Amino acid sequence: MKNFISNLNKAFENRLRLGIMSILITNEWVEFNTMKELLDATDGNLASHITALEKIEYLEVRKAFIGKKPNTSFRITKEGKKAFKDHIDGLEQLIKKSI
């Protein structure tokens, strides 16, 4: 059982990070505010997890301005997609083994 758990990605241990990746996997560019609403998260909390995911290059950031308002969007990277898929596969195996 141990080796199945090792298939799970440590980067996704946090609920919010898993949530961020779930949203990005089905969408092209997602704005910060949309993300915030969907995940029901606070600005600071969301920002810190996004930064963490950006650091390991699972997502990329695009900063733009709409009028004078800053507008930040995110998109999943190739590495991020692969990591998320592997994580889900890991979950699947784990559940299969335990039933």
Roughly how many angstroms between the first and final C-alpha of the chain, as a whole number?
12
- What is the rounded distance in angstroms from the CA atom of residue 82 to the CA atom of residue 93? 16
Among 10, 26, 66, 69, binds other proteins (CB under 8 A): 26
Specify whether the CB–CB gap between 20 and 50 falls below 8 A: yes
Q: Is 91 in the site for other proteins (CB under 8 A)?
A: yes
Of 68 and 96, which CB lies nearer to other proteins in the complex structure? 96
Q: Is 27 in the site for other proteins (CB under 8 A)?
A: yes
As separate numbers, helices (DSSP H) first and strands (DSSP E) second, the chain gives 5, 3
Chain residues that interact with other proteins, rule: CB under 8 A = 5, 15, 18-19, 22-23, 25-27, 30-31, 34, 38-39, 88, 91, 94-95, 98
